[in-house]
Each structure stands twice: as C-alpha cells, then as structure tokens.
Structure 1
Amino acid sequence: MEWLGLQLFAELPASGQIILDCRHNPFLVMLAYLVACAACFATLDMAERQSHSEGLNARRQWRILGACCLASGIWAMHFISLLAFQAPLEVHYDMPLTALSLIIALLAAWLAMNSLDRTVMQWRHYLQAALAIGLGITVMHYVGMAALQTSALQYYQTPLLVASLGIAVVTSLVALLMARHFRSGSGTLHLVMKYGASLMMAAGIVLTHFTGMAALSLVIPDNLPLQLPSANNSLQLGLTIAFITLLISGSSISAALADKKLQSKEHDLRRVNVLLSQLDQARASLQQAAHYDALTNLINRRGFNQVFAERLAEQTASEGMLAVMFLDIDHFKRINDSLGHAAGDELLKVIAGHIKAATRSQDVVARFGGDEFCIVTSLHNRDEARHLAQRIMQRMKEPIDLGGRRMVMTTSIGISIFPDDGRSAEELLKNADLALYQSKGGGRNNLNFFNSSLKTRATLELQLEEELRVALLEERGLCVHYQPIFDLHSARVAKLEALVRWQHPQHGLLGPDRFIGIAEANGLIAELDLWVLRRACEDVAELNRLGYGHLKVTVNCSAVTLGREELASEVEMALFQAGVAARQLELEVTENALMGDIHRTINLLKRIRAQGVALSIDDFGTGYSSLAYLKRLPLDVLKIDRSFIQDVPGSQQDREIVQAIIIMAHTLHLQVVTEGVETDEQHAFLAAQGCDFLQGYLLSRPVPLTDLPPVLERLDNLDSDFSPERGTALPGSPDRFADAPGCRAGASVARRGH
C-alpha cells in the first residue's frame, strides 16, 4: 500500500539496495525529549488553568494556548528527531507536507484540550478521545516522514507500524487521565507528581516516534544512483526549533503561573469580600439581637434608650411634647404559673401585636422584659396621651384564645410628659414608672399621669427602706403590740395576736401599712417576720412569769417566709431560745400564701405542726384557695376576714356568708376566729352562730406588752353579763380608729408587681 510515497503494509522488494547504516544523533534525541517534556508540562498547566477559569472566553483562550503548546511540542519533537536521523543519503524536506504535519498535530492537540474541558468523562469518552488523538499523532508522524525527501523509498514493517499506532493511543489515554487528574491540586507533592507525569507523557510521545522509525526501511532502487549526503545544518536547525518551542512552552507556563497567582488573589479577594459580607451579616444580627426583643420583635431596652435619646433631642430642639408610657400586664404571673411559660410567651406576642395595632407608625414601642412595655409618642397636648392609653386599654380587652382557653387581659399604665415631668430620659422613665406604681396600687386596669406627690412618696419610701434595714440590723425602733383574742366558750382571753409597729424617730409610731409593703418589695419581709417571731416568743416567756401561762400567741407568716424550707427549724429555735412550749405558739398564714407550691407547703406545715405549734389560715374568703386543698392542709384555726363582718348584721348576704364559713370550718374540725368585731350587734350575731373566738376593737386595740396586763385583768374579770348567751357589750365605746385591713406583719399589701 502506497500513501504519500510511503510503502505501508508492504513487503521489501526483491531488488534494490537497503540502507543499513542509519543512526541518530543522541544530542538531538535528548533535545527532542526535553522539548516534549516542556510541552507536556505546559499542556498540563494549560489544562489546569482551563478547568479553573470561570468565563467562557478565558477557557477558550487557555484551550487554544494549550493546543498550541501540545502541538508545537509533539511536532518539534518529531522534527528534531528527524533531524537527528543520520543516513548515507542526501535528505531534503517537503515544506507543504511539513506544514500539513503541523496542522494535523494542532488538530489532535485541540481534540485533546476539548476532551479535558468536558465536565463529565466516562470510560467510553476516554477511549474515543484517546483513539482519535493517537490516530492524529500517528498520521502526523507519517505525514512528517513523507516530507522526508531522499532517493530511497520508505518501506514500513507492519508489526512495528501497528505498534506505533497502539503506543500513540495508549500514550494519549494515559495523558488524558493524568491531565484530568492534575487539573486540580496544589502543594509541593502535586508539583512533583506533575513533573513525573510530564516525563511519562513525553516518553510515550518519543516512544511512538521511534517505534515508527524502527519500522522504517530505506531501499534504493537499482536504477537510481546513490547520492551521498552533503554538509547540512541539522544541529543548528534543531536547536532553533527547540529554542522556539521551549520559548512557546515557557511563555505559556509563565502565563499560567501569572494567571494562577492572579486568580489566587481574586479568590482571596472574593473570600475577603465573602468574609466581610458575613461579618456585616453577623454585625446586623448582633445589632438585631442587641436592640430588638427576640420574642416580640419589638425594640428592647437598649434599642429604646438609643431611639428615645434621638426623639428627646428632636423635641428639645423643636420645643415639642413627648409622652412616655409604662405598661404592665395585670396578673400576668398567673398565666405563667397556671399555663406555663410557653403559653406566657405566646400571650406576650399577642399583646405586643395589640399594642402595635393601637399605636401609630411613628410611635416607639419597646418591650423592657417580662410583661413590661414602654411607648414614646409625640403629641400636642396631654389629652392625646390619655386617648392613646385608653385605646390601648380597650384593645387589650379583646378576648385571646390561649391553650384552649378564652381569656381577657388588662393593663395598668403610667404616663409622664416631656417637658412638664422631666427633661432627661432617666427622669421621664422614672416618673412614668412612679405613675404606673400608682395605677397598680389603685386597683389595676387603670392609667395615671405623673404628679409631684408620687415623687415625694417614692422619696419617702426609699428613705423608709434604708431606715428599716438599719432598724432590723440594730433592732432599734421596732416593737410588737398585742391584740387579745377572746374565747366565747370560756369567756376569757385565750390568745394574743402579735402585730409589729415601728417607732420612727421623725414620723412617730408607724403602723404596718406604712412599711410592710416596703419590706416585701425589698426582700426584708422574711427577716422582719423572724424578728417578730423571736420577740413574741420572748414576750410569752415574760407573760408566763407574770402568771399568764394559759395564753397563746399568734404570729403572722408572709408568703415569702412560708417559702423558706428552714422555717420549721427557725420556729423550733425561737421556741427553744425563749424557753416557751410549742403549744403556746400559733402561726397565721394567709390564704393566698398557701396557694403557691401547695404540695411543698403542706409538707412544711406538717413539719411545723408536728412540733406542737398550731396553724391558722388568715383572711379566709379573700383569696383563691380551693376547698379540696383546704381540707388537706394541717390547720387548726380559720380566721374570718373583717370585710365579711363590717356590714353584719345589717347585710343578709354577709350574714349568710359568715354562717356558711362557720359551719364549713366546724365540719372540717377547725376553730373559728372572727376579726374586726367592733359592735355589740356583731358580737351577739357571732355568738349566736357558734363562733369560737372574737377579735377586734370591741374588746381592745393592740397594746404594748407593758400595757397588756391591765387589759387582760379587765377582760378576764368581766361580770357574767358578758357571755355568749347574753351578748352584752363591753363597757365603754369601741375604738373606731382601727388599723386598715391586712395591717399585720407579713400581711399582703398592695404593691407593684415588677
């Protein structure tokens, strides 16, 4: 088979002269291998840059440059190897065929770079591409051989010719696999492996060429004379081609390195931009978290302070008015206690929505924490603030479905006005808080504007708080008065109720209504209760020495004190130190104080009662206790609150209530004490209903221990006219200046709930 003057797949002729003295210049062979190595390394770099480029134009440019590097390297290796071929013949090169071989090399290289640019390569893709590239390299080789013009004919041995094609295909397959593998990666190991891959690829290309050359046999026909070679410039031409090819490869490698550094800088810059963006997002998130409430999405106290300062500066400059409103949800703690904090959170979301809906877009609405909200609004007169507060209170009364229940909440509101009630943010907030205190103290579900008297009262309470701490610490000024409790069955005084008083150096004798609320609000109530307990036990010991050993003292116990696990041991210690029997002490607890942790309370009361101390429930009927719980409590006495006695016997409803309470108490085997008895008619009614004990100003008002013996002598030596059956009044008119209800140590006094 003859192709381009080449005798392919043909036997050697029977006649003719075979040229056997053919050699290769080893320097040019090594130079050809070096050119191939450089070209392969440059091609791997181009493939890497092609895969890392993001733009289509950039990928196309790297593909073209890679194809040029690979084609020039393969072609230069082939041509330099031909220049290294030395035979005893005159050798010339056909330029058109030489150029055609270069074009074929470019096509094969372009096909290789296209294959490397595919996103997904399966094995069939690798095989197809390797076959096409190997065939192209083989065709390029033999076209280049056809450009070799001599007087001899070129015959090729079929086995070696097929072997050269197979080596070209295998080399192309290995080159594709390595190029795909080395498209990504970094570091010294990656670079070393890429050097090794370049050497292997170049070796495959050189092996393909020299396998083809091994298949070559030069035969000079008999009719042609042998033309000996003349002087040639193969070395110079080989060096020139090598220099040009190495220059192309080196320039390409330099461009790849520069692009890699530039892309790395771009990636670093992009990473920095991403980090900056993330930092901005994190800063925005922190800003959101720092200035907004996560539950209601309203601004929190910190955010409010910032916005409020800006609004205040604006109104100061324009001489406008601002209203600051403090809102507190009435009895919100009951929701958390009964339905749980999750339900409380849902309720707060709804309430926040109601408040936002009732305000204007320019109003500032903030949640300060818990169930406290604050609103700042600009206005022209005070009535605008009142109308806004009323609108909020009306919106709050809309029914809310929560946890399967339908409930209506109310709110208390305190309002301060800029500039009338203050010019600084701190002063306006403090004054709005004082107004809120007045709203809650006035029965809740109410609004109040700040006035100067509130500030005076707050200043006085702060002063009283400081002085009360000193009084407790130094046990100076505090004293206990005792009010007799009369036994209707034995017609004598059976008990004394210990009631705390404070002999203030400036304000005189203060009743508990002046300082119990302060003690409860500032954590002093438990210490005050224990002081009264110890003093009462000491006074009972003194009465025992005076011959009143039958008397029992009742001491009030607040909800805070009842919540202390150590109360039982403190009661025991107070009795032991005073040397008083436990039967002479009775602890009074309010109905609402019992309704906290009822199971823990029952266990604590059982421990106290086991010592021999009696227990009574005070203010019965004014709280929210359950009869199911009442029958489980280890109680001895039930006290009827004075609010049920005031209109007896004139009010039929109150008479029936008192009758029912007495019957119920006796059914539960409890003794009944009725407090607040002030008239003969009340005494007669209670005696007729079977009440066990009376307490009130009809008998005596509270007196100090030193004044107590004469009172006891008078009450114990009454004539027989004062008896449960007769109901005759005590001589003398009752003292109408009775203490307000709840004026006992530990009694619940209306106070702010926050």
Structure 2
Amino acid sequence: MEWLGLQLFAELPATGQIILDCRHNPFLVLLAFIVASAACFATLDMSERQSQCEDRFARRQWRVLGACCLAGGIWAMHFISMLAFQAPLEIHFDAPLTGLSLLVALLAAWLAMNSLNRSVMRLRHYLQTALFIGLGISVMHYTGMAAMQTSALQYYQTGLLLASVGIAVLTSLVALLMARYFNKGSGTLHLLLKYGASLLMAAGIVLTHFTGMAAMTLVIPSETALRLPSADNSLQLALTIAVITLLISAGSISAALADKKLQSKEHDLRRVNVLLSQLDQARASLQQAAHYDALTNLVNRRGFNQVFAERLAEQAAHDGMLAVMFLDIDHFKRINDSLGHAAGDELLKVIADHIKAATRGHDLVARFGGDEFCIVTSLNSRDEARHLAQRIMQRMKEPIDLAGRRMVMTTSIGISIFPDDGQSTEELLKNADLALYQSKGCGRNSLNFFNNGLKTRATLELQLEEELRVALFEERGLCVHYQPIFDLRSGQVAKLEALVRWQHPQHGLLSPDRFICIAEANGLIAELDLWVLRRACEDLAQLNRHGYGDLKVTVNCSALTLGREELATEVEMALFQAGLAPRQLELEVTENALMGDIHHTISLLKRIRAQGVALSIDDFGTGYSSLAYLKRLPLDVLKIDRSFIQDVPGSQKDREIVQAIIIMAHTLHLKVVTEGVETVEQHEFLASHGCDYLQGYLLSRPVPLAELRPILERLDRQPGELSPCCDTALPGSPDLFPDSPGYRAGASAARRGH
C-alpha cells in the first residue's frame, strides 16, 4: 500500500539497490530525547494547572498552551531525530508535509488535553483517547517520514510498523494515566515522581519514532541514479529547533510555576479570609456563650454585671432610680427531684418566658443559674417596683403543663432601690439578696424591700456563724443542759433530754433557736450533733458513777445528721469512749427528718437499733404524721408535741387528739412521752389516759449537769406530789433578731429539743 509516497505493508522489490549504510547521530538522538522530556514535563505542568484553575477562561488558556508544548515537543523530537538520520543519499524535507505533520501533532495534543479536562474518566474513556492519540502520533510520524525527500523509496516492515503504532497507543495511555495522577499533589516526592514520569513518557515517544525508523528500508530503483549528499547543515537546524522548543517548554514551565505560586497565595488569602470569618463567628459565639444563658437565652451573670454597670452609671448621671429584683422559684428542687432535670429545664424556659412577658422591653432580665433570676428596671417611685413584682408573681401563678401534669409555681422576690439602698452593683445585689432571704423566710410567695434591719441581722448572723465555728472546734462556750423525763408508772425520773446551749461572751446564754439554723445552713450541724452526743454520754457516765445507773439520756439528731452513713459508727464510738451500755442511749429524730430518704433512713435506724440504742420520734403530729411510714420505722418511743398539750384539758379537740395519739402509739407497741407539761391538770389528764412519760416545766426546766442532782433527788423523793417548778422561764438571752427567718427556723429547732 502506497501512502504519501511511502510503501506501507509492501514487500521489498525484486530489483533495485538497498541502502544499508544508514546510521544516526547519537548527539542529536540524545538532544531529541531531552527535548521530548522537557516537553512532557511542561505538558504535565499544564495539565496540573488546567485541573486546579478555577477560572474557565484560564483553564482554556492552559489547555491551549499544554497542547502546544506537547505537540511542539513531539514534533521537534521527531524532526531532530530525522536530522540525526544519516544515509549516503541527498536528503531534503518537503515543507508542506512537514507543516502537515506539525498540525497532526497539534490535533493529537489537543485531544489529549481535552481528555484531561474531563471531571470523570472511566477505563473506556482512557482506552478510546489513548487509541486516537496514538494513531495521531503515528500519523504525525509517518507524515514526517513522507516529508523526507530522497532518490530512494521507503519500504516498511509490517511487524515493526504495527509495533510502532502499538507503542504510540501504549505510550499515550500511560501518559494519560500519569497526567491524571499528577493533577493533584505537592512536595518534593511529587516533583521527583513527575520528573520520572516525564522521562518515561519521552522514552515512549522516542521509542515510537525509532521503531518506525527501524521498520523503514531505503531502496533505490534500478533506473534511478544515486545522488550523493551535498553540504550538511542538519546539526545547526537541529540545535535551532531544540533551542526554540526548549525555550517554549521552559517558558511554559515558568508560567505554570508562577501561576501555581500566585494561586497558592490566593488560596492562602482565601483561607485566611475564611479563618477570619470563622474567627468572627467563633468570637460572636463565645460572646453569646459568655454573656447569655444557653437554656433560657437570657443574659447570664457576666453579661448582667456588664449591662447593669452601664445602666447604673447612666442613672447616676441623670439622678434616676433603679430597682434590682432577685427572684427565686419556690420549691423548684421538688421538680428536679420528682420529674427529673429535663423537666426542670423545660420549666425554667417557661418561667423565663413568663418573666419576660411581665416585664417591659427595656428591662434587663437575667438568669444567674439554677432557679435564680434578676431584673433591673428604671422607675420613678418605689410603687412601680412593687407593681412590677406583683405583676410577675401573678403571671407566675398561671398553670403550666409539664410532663403530663398541670402545676402552678410561685416565686419569692427581694427588691433593692438605687440610690436609697446602695450606690454600687455589688451593694445593690447583696441587699436585694437579703430582701429575697426575708421573703423566703416569711413563707415564700411574697415580696420584700430591703431595709437596714435586714443588713443588721445578716451582719449579726455572719458574726454568730464565725463565732459558732470557733466555739465548736475549740470547745469554748458550748454546753449541754438536761431536762428530766418522768416515768408515770415507776414514779421516778427515767430519762434526761440533752439540750445544747451556747454561753456567748457578749449575748449571754443562747438557746438553740439562736444558732441551730446557722449550723444547719453552714454545714456545722453534723459536728454539733456529734459533740452533743459525746458530751451527753460522758455526763451520763459521770452520773452512773454517782448512783444513777438506771437513767437514760436522749439526744436529738437533725435531718442532715440522719443522712450521714457514718452515724451508726459514730454512735457506737461515743458509747464505747464513755463506757455506757447502748440501752442507756436514746436518739430523737423528727418526723420531717425521717421523710427525706425513707429507705435509707429505715436501713440506718435498723443498724443503730441493732446496737441496742432506743429510737424516739419527736414532734409527732407537726409533720407528715404518715402511719404508713410510722409502722415501718424501727421506733421505741413517740413524743407528742407540746402544741397539742398547751390547751389541755380545756380544749376538747386537743384532748381527743392526745387520746388518739396515745392509743395509736400503744397499738404500735410504742411508749409515749408528752413534752411541754406545765400544770397539774395536764399531768392528771395524761396519767389518767395511759401516757408513759412526762416532760416539762412542771418537773424542771433544762439545767446544767452541776444543778441536776438536787432536782433528781427531789423528783425521786416525792413522786406523787408533783408541783410546778418555781422557775418556768425559758433560759436564754433577749431576742437578738426575733423577726428574722432564722429566728422562726431556730424556734422550730428549739421545739425539737435542740
């Protein structure tokens, strides 16, 4: 088959002269390989820029430049290799065919760059594209061979010709895979791999060319005269083409490198902008988290302090008034304990909405944590603050559906006014908190304004707390008084109730109502109860040594102490250290203390009772009075509260209540003690209705151990002739702050026997 003067797939003629003396200039062959390698490297760079460039027009430019680099490199390699061919013939090249071969190379290169621009390349795409590119390279090669004009004819061996086409297709496939692989990546290893890929691709292209050259045989027809070569300028022409091609490749590589650096800087700048944007968002989020409560979206304590300080400065500059309101949700802990914290959180959201709905738009509403809220509002008179607080309290009473239940919540509010109650944020908040404490102490669901009396009482309570701590741990001033408990059946004193007192250096002898509430609020009650227990055991041991071996001592146990797992061990240790038998000790607990964690309480009381210690329930009838719990508790004694005996025998209802309690206790096999007995009539009524023990001022007031023995001798000597004790006044100093919440709480503690 003849194509452009080439004898393809044809047998050698029978006549003619075969040119055997054909060789190649090794320098030009090496130069051709270098040119091909540079062009392949430039093409890989162009492919990388094309894939990484985001601008559509710029991608097209890189595609065109890459196609030119690849086509120029292949064509230059081919032409330089042709110039390296040396034969004893005159050789010149046909310009139109040479130009046509360059166009074919450009077409193949453009097809290659277009395929690399595809977002998805499957195997069939690679194979089809490699086939077309390989055929294009082969056509370019044989078109260039046809441009070589000599007096000889070119015959090609079929096997090597097909091999050159196969090598071209295979080289094209490998080049496509490598170019796709090197589209992404960076670093030294990536660059070294790209160098190796360029050399490999160049070797494949050179191999394609020289396989085709090996397939060629030059035959001079018999009737054609041999024309010898004339002057040879192939070296200069090859060098010129090589330099031009290398300059184009180098320029392209430099442009790609510059663009890569520029794009890297753009990416860095974009990344910096993104980071700055993220930083702004993070700063805004931190600002939100730092100054707003995540649950209710109200201002938190930190944000409140900042805004409050600004509002305060503004009002101070214009001689205005501000009200600071502290709100505390009444009995909120019950919601968390009964329905769970998730329900409590939902309730807080609803409460926050209620508060915001009741306040004005410019009022500052904050949540300080838990169920504590604070409001700051500007006003013209104190009545405005009262009306706002009442509006909030009314709004809070609206029914709330929560966890399948319909409930009504109430709130306690404390209010301080600027500038009357303070000039600084700290002072106003502290005074509002004191007013809130007053509201909670008044039975909750109320509001109170701050007054100087609250501050005086708070100062005194703080002083008493500090001094109580010193008195307890240094054992200075605390003492125990004892009140006899009379056995109606034996006619003798059977027990002594241990009651703590505090001999204060300034305020004199303080009864428990002055300091028990302080001890409970500040975690000292357990230490105080344990101190009383040890002292009572020691004092009873001393009485035993003086002939009172049948006496028992009863010691009060607070709710907080009853919740301690160590109580059983502490009771056992106190008895051991004093040398007392367990039967001589009786622990008194109140109804309300028993109801805290009933299962834990029953377990603990059983352990104590197993030691031989008796147990008594104090203030019966003033708490829950649950018979279901009472029958489960390991009790020995039931003590009737003094409130039921005060009007006996004058009040029929009180008489019937006392009779019912005595009958119920005996049914449960419990002994009955009635406290607060002050008259002979009360004694006669209780004796006639089966009461077991009496306690009260009819017998004796609480006295210190040093004064106890004469009283015991008097009571034991005249069992049938009880008369009112000459001193029936409750010992202690004058009231320090009788209207305070602490007083009322302490008074309850005093009735418990503290």
TM-score by length of structure 2 reads 0.91
Q: CA deviation at 1:108?
A: 0.4
Q: CA deviation at 1:504?
A: 1.9
Identity %: 84
Instruction: Tell whether 2:691 aligns with 1:691.
Output: yes
Q: Which residue of 1 aligns with 2:739?
A: none
**In 2, are the aligned partners of 1:49 and 1:256 still within 8 Å (CA)?**
yes
Separation in 2 of the partners of 1:593 and 1:513?
Answer: 17
Q: Which runs of 5+ in 1 are unaligned?
A: 723-729, 750-754
Deviates more, 1:523-532 or 1:103-112: 523-532
> Cα gap change, 1:692/1:404 in structure 2, threshold over 3 Å: closer, same or farther?
farther
Q: Which residue of 1 aligns with 2:452?
A: 452
**In 1, are the aligned partners of 2:536 and 2:555 still within 8 Å (CA)?**
yes
Separation in 2 of the partners of 1:542 and 1:151?
Answer: 145
Instruction: Tell whether 2:543 aligns with 1:559.
Output: no
> Cα gap change, 1:472/1:174 in structure 2, threshold over 3 Å: closer, same or farther?
closer
Q: Which residue of 2 aligns with 1:421?
A: 421
| Correspondence 1:284-303 to 2 at 5 A | 284-303=284-303
Deviates more, 1:578-587 or 1:45-54: 578-587
Deviates more, 1:440-449 or 1:250-259: 250-259
C-alpha offsets along residues 148-199 of structure 1, whole Å, 9 cap, x if unaligned?
Answer: 2334443434333333222211221121122222222333333333222222
**In 2, are the aligned partners of 1:679 and 1:734 still within 8 Å (CA)?**
no
**In 1, are the aligned partners of 2:511 and 2:731 still within 8 Å (CA)?**
no
> Cα gap change, 1:479/1:16 in structure 2, threshold over 3 Å: closer, same or farther?
closer
C-alpha offsets along residues 268-312 of structure 1, whole Å, 9 cap, x if unaligned?
Answer: 444444444444444444444444434444333333323322332
Q: Which runs of 5+ in 2 are unaligned?
A: 733-742
Q: Which residue of 2 aligns with 1:352?
A: 352
**In 2, are the aligned partners of 1:471 and 1:477 still within 8 Å (CA)?**
yes
Letter aligned with residue 452 of structure 2: S
SS at match of 1:80: helix
SS at match of 2:44: helix
Instruction: Tell whether 2:201 aligns with 1:201.
Output: yes
Deviates more, 1:618-627 or 1:10-19: 10-19
Q: Which residue of 1 aligns with 2:257?
A: 257
Separation in 1 of the partners of 2:419 and 2:7?
Answer: 113
Letter aligned with residue 66 of structure 1: G
Instruction: Tell whether 2:477 aligns with 1:477.
Output: yes
SS at match of 2:618: strand
**In 1, are the aligned partners of 2:699 and 2:724 still within 8 Å (CA)?**
no
Q: Which residue of 1 aligns with 2:440?
A: 440
Letter aligned with residue 461 of structure 1: E
Separation in 1 of the partners of 2:506 and 2:726?
Answer: 31
TM-score by length of structure 1 reads 0.91
C-alpha offsets along residues 490-509 of structure 1, whole Å, 9 cap, x if unaligned?
Answer: 44433332222222222222
Q: CA deviation at 1:390?
A: 1.9
Q: Which residue of 1 aligns with 2:46?
A: 46
Q: CA deviation at 1:544?
A: 4.0
Letter aligned with residue 619 of structure 2: D
Deviates more, 1:101-110 or 1:370-379: 370-379
Q: Which residue of 2 aligns with 1:752?
A: none
Q: Which residue of 2 aligns with 1:390?
A: 390
**In 2, are the aligned partners of 1:568 and 1:607 still within 8 Å (CA)?**
yes
Q: CA deviation at 1:119?
A: 1.9
Deviates more, 1:482-491 or 1:495-504: 482-491
> Cα gap change, 1:537/1:392 in structure 2, threshold over 3 Å: closer, same or farther?
same
> Cα gap change, 1:495/1:145 in structure 2, threshold over 3 Å: closer, same or farther?
same
**In 1, are the aligned partners of 2:677 and 2:695 still within 8 Å (CA)?**
yes
C-alpha offsets along residues 421-466 of structure 1, whole Å, 9 cap, x if unaligned?
Answer: 1111111111111111111111111111111000000111111112
| Correspondence 1:602-681 to 2 at 5 A | 602-624=602-624, 626-649=626-649, 651-679=651-679
SS at match of 1:445: coil
C-alpha offsets along residues 640-682 of structure 1, whole Å, 9 cap, x if unaligned?
Answer: 2223334445555444433332222111111112223345554
| Correspondence 1:168-567 to 2 at 5 A | 168-221=168-221, 224-544=224-544, 547-567=547-567
Q: Which residue of 2 aligns with 1:727?
A: none
Q: CA deviation at 1:374?
A: 2.2
Q: CA deviation at 1:615?
A: 1.3
Separation in 2 of the partners of 1:699 and 1:747?
Answer: 18
Letter aligned with residue 63 of structure 2: R
Q: Which residue of 2 aligns with 1:74?
A: 74
Deviates more, 1:245-254 or 1:392-401: 392-401
Q: CA deviation at 1:393?
A: 2.0
Q: CA deviation at 1:12?
A: 4.2
> Cα gap change, 1:651/1:147 in structure 2, threshold over 3 Å: closer, same or farther?
farther
Q: Which residue of 1 aligns with 2:588?
A: 588
> Cα gap change, 1:234/1:707 in structure 2, threshold over 3 Å: closer, same or farther?
same
Separation in 2 of the partners of 1:385 and 1:742?
Answer: 29
**In 1, are the aligned partners of 2:617 and 2:635 still within 8 Å (CA)?**
yes
**In 1, are the aligned partners of 2:697 and 2:724 still within 8 Å (CA)?**
no
Letter aligned with residue 701 of structure 1: R
**In 2, are the aligned partners of 1:482 and 1:497 still within 8 Å (CA)?**
yes
SS at match of 1:622: coil
> Cα gap change, 1:355/1:656 in structure 2, threshold over 3 Å: closer, same or farther?
farther
Q: Which residue of 2 aligns with 1:116?
A: 116
> Cα gap change, 1:358/1:744 in structure 2, threshold over 3 Å: closer, same or farther?
closer
SS at match of 1:605: helix
> Cα gap change, 1:743/1:218 in structure 2, threshold over 3 Å: closer, same or farther?
closer
**In 2, are the aligned partners of 1:36 and 1:202 still within 8 Å (CA)?**
yes
Q: Which residue of 1 aligns with 2:736?
A: none
C-alpha offsets along residues 468-514 of structure 1, whole Å, 9 cap, x if unaligned?
Answer: 22222333322333333333334443333222222222222222111
Letter aligned with residue 348 of structure 1: L
> Cα gap change, 1:350/1:72 in structure 2, threshold over 3 Å: closer, same or farther?
same
Separation in 2 of the partners of 1:403 and 1:687?
Answer: 53
Q: Which residue of 1 aligns with 2:143?
A: 143
Deviates more, 1:244-253 or 1:209-218: 209-218
Q: Which residue of 1 aligns with 2:735?
A: none
**In 2, are the aligned partners of 1:501 and 1:512 still within 8 Å (CA)?**
yes
**In 2, are the aligned partners of 1:498 and 1:556 still within 8 Å (CA)?**
yes
Letter aligned with residue 245 of structure 2: T
SS at match of 1:639: strand
Deviates more, 1:665-674 or 1:470-479: 470-479
C-alpha offsets along residues 224-267 of structure 1, whole Å, 9 cap, x if unaligned?
Answer: 54333221321111101000000111111222222233333334
Deviates more, 1:230-239 or 1:334-343: 334-343
C-alpha offsets along residues 90-148 of structure 1, whole Å, 9 cap, x if unaligned?
Answer: 33333222222211111100100111122221221111101111111111122222322
Q: CA deviation at 1:17?
A: 4.4
Q: CA deviation at 1:57?
A: 2.2
Q: Which residue of 2 aligns with 1:167?
A: 167
Separation in 2 of the partners of 1:530 and 1:159?
Answer: 111
Q: Which residue of 2 aligns with 1:725?
A: none
Letter aligned with residue 570 of structure 2: E
> Cα gap change, 1:567/1:19 in structure 2, threshold over 3 Å: closer, same or farther?
closer
Separation in 1 of the partners of 2:751 and 2:326?
Answer: 24
Letter aligned with residue 176 of structure 1: L
> Cα gap change, 1:747/1:4 in structure 2, threshold over 3 Å: closer, same or farther?
farther
Separation in 1 of the partners of 2:686 and 2:80?
Answer: 133
> Cα gap change, 1:545/1:82 in structure 2, threshold over 3 Å: closer, same or farther?
closer
SS at match of 1:438: helix
Separation in 1 of the partners of 2:278 and 2:443?
Answer: 52
Separation in 1 of the partners of 2:466 and 2:744?
Answer: 25
Separation in 2 of the partners of 1:9 and 1:578?
Answer: 125
> Cα gap change, 1:408/1:691 in structure 2, threshold over 3 Å: closer, same or farther?
farther
Letter aligned with residue 566 of structure 1: E
**In 1, are the aligned partners of 2:416 and 2:429 still within 8 Å (CA)?**
yes
Separation in 2 of the partners of 1:160 and 1:570?
Answer: 107
Q: Which residue of 1 aligns with 2:88?
A: 88
Q: Which residue of 1 aligns with 2:125?
A: 125
SS at match of 1:423: coil
Deviates more, 1:649-658 or 1:28-37: 649-658
Separation in 2 of the partners of 1:476 and 1:450?
Answer: 35
**In 1, are the aligned partners of 2:511 and 2:750 still within 8 Å (CA)?**
no
